[in-house]
Copies of this chain bind each other. A is one copy, B any other.
Amino acid sequence: MQRFFHPPVDQWERLLKRPTANLTEIEPLVAEVFSAVRKKGDLAVKKYTEKFDKVQISSLEVNQAELKQAQNEISPDLQRSIQSAKRNIEAFHKAQKTSKVQVETQPGVLCWQEKRPIEKVGLYVPGGSAPLFSTLLMLAIPAQIAGCREIILCTPPNSSGIIPAVIRYTASLCGIQKIFKVGGIQSIAAMTFGTESIPSVYKIFGPGNQYVTLAKQWATRYHVSIDMPAGPSELLVMADKSADVDFIAADLLSQAEHGPDSQVIFVTTEPSLLDKVQNAIEDQLMTLPRRSIAEKALEHSKLICLPTAELAQNFINAYGPEHYILCVEDESEYLLNLHNAGSVFIGKYTPESAGDYASGTNHTLPTNGYSKQYSGVNLDSFTKSITFQKISEKGIKGLGETIMHMASAEGLQAHKNAVSIRLKKISDGL
């Protein structure tokens, strides 16, 4: 781990930087797959699944029997845990519902804003070393609460051509009926253009490797929107001497085990913590099954001591962490001065794992400093707002003059006419 003691502000840039993968190299591949899927539909999807996932799929959609069977394949303990997590995530996301905002801005001029669900959404859940059913909970639950009419799931098949039981179970539990055994670039292309089996959608959600990340960006060229730009997962822990170093070390390691490119940052105002945290990490690392992954992530992770709370707060805002654990005596000062973060975990009994799985908050969050301008996935991610207005005769008489002056000043006579023709008919008593 790299250590920095009181780094001057003009040297922060290097500390704030994420290792950015250059995705231009894989652009030609993404373009090729998109073009093939657009032209050949299912045939191309199956071809690339065979090529990349090394498995032949005859029917892309998971059938009802496979869905029903899932329940028998996973332990009652895990089922109960997933149900508990679902209840919490549901409670938190249901609370995000907003009601119609309505204002009579001047007499007879009634304006309102309503949110309506995005009709068709596509969820992506990556495969890889373990089935990430928690991501499915985080996407499917708000999509259902928002009322999206068509919710589809794409996730890569394993080497036997099947979707892990826990993913099928979670999908069923969340009421997702349309699951497709397809991952990678070909799945994003399929949800963009639609194929014989896979419907096209308006917005695509979910994390993925660099191929999926670039494919999602590519999809935005074709009238599809995406949840947010993605990058490797990150955690910043801020602690003072009131914190428990074993907890801090465990939290930093929980981030480090995600992947070799995970970002792990420890910030403190207490110099003695640098040694203590590093020692605790080394102790706990020994017994980790994913030790070699965590070690790689730790190589470029940073332990930083800053001289004052104010500088620490500035640093954290400049970094804009995806996950931010705050273990200090004066929490409220840090929270008051926080501008940029995805999700914040406060106090010694609030590990990042809680939010990753089961406390209720969403774990699909902006990385790579994007918390400066992006929200994590939330209920509104699955809706769009529409404004409405209804103006009465009295209303247009009161507002007309203003509109006409402004339209004239912008040189838009027809805009003015749309008002004057109404005012004239009113005054003519027509």
Contacts and interface: CB of A to CB of B under 8 A. Distances in A.
Interface of A: 74, 77-78, 80-82, 84-85, 87-88, 91-92, 95-96, 98, 101-103, 105-106, 109, 111, 113, 116-119, 129-134, 166, 202-203, 220, 223-225, 229, 244, 246-247, 250-251, 253-254, 256-258, 284, 288-290, 294, 335, 338-362, 366, 368-376, 378, 380, 384-393, 395-396, 399, 401-403, 405-407, 409-419, 421-422, 425
A244 B393 CA distance: 14
Contacts of A251: 418
Nearest to A423: B349
A101 B360 CA distance: 12
A107 to B, nearest CB: 11
B88 A409 contact: no
A133 B409 contact: yes
A258 B339 CA distance: 39
Given A344-B389, A386-B344, A389-B355, A417 B360 contact: no
A373 B246 contact: no
Contacts of A375: 384-386
B425 A244 contact: yes
B413 A290 contact: yes
Of the listed residues A80, A407, A414, the one surrounded by the most CB atoms of chain B closer than 10 A to its CB is A414
A32 to B, nearest CB: 17
B129 A419 contact: no
Contacts of A130: 409-412
B111 A402 contact: no
A136 to B, nearest CB: 11
A412 B257 contact: yes
B77 A338 contact: no
A123 to B, nearest CB: 14
A284 B244 CA distance: 76
Contact of A413 (B289, B341, B386): B289
A402 B342 contact: no
Given A406-B78, A414-B290, A425-B246, A113 B101 contact: no
Contacts of A351: 396, 403, 418-419, 422
Contact of A414 (B92, B103, B257, B376): B257
A91 B413 CA distance: 27
A73 B254 CA distance: 63
Nearest to A119: B339
Contacts of A374: 225, 384
Given A257-B412, A359-B105, A417-B250, A376 B387 contact: yes
12 contacts: A84-B399, A88-B399, A91-B103, A103-B360, A105-B359, A111-B361, A119-B340, A119-B372, A344-B387, A351-B422, A357-B402, A361-B387
Contact of A92 (B111, B223, B254): B111
A166 B402 CA distance: 15
Nearest to A82: B406
B402 A84 contact: yes
A353 B402 CA distance: 11
A353 B415 contact: yes
Contact of A98 (B98, B388, B401, B405): B98
A183 to B, nearest CB: 17
A358 B419 CA distance: 12
A183 B398 CA distance: 36
Contact of A391 (B116, B250, B359, B418): B359
A357 B341 CA distance: 36
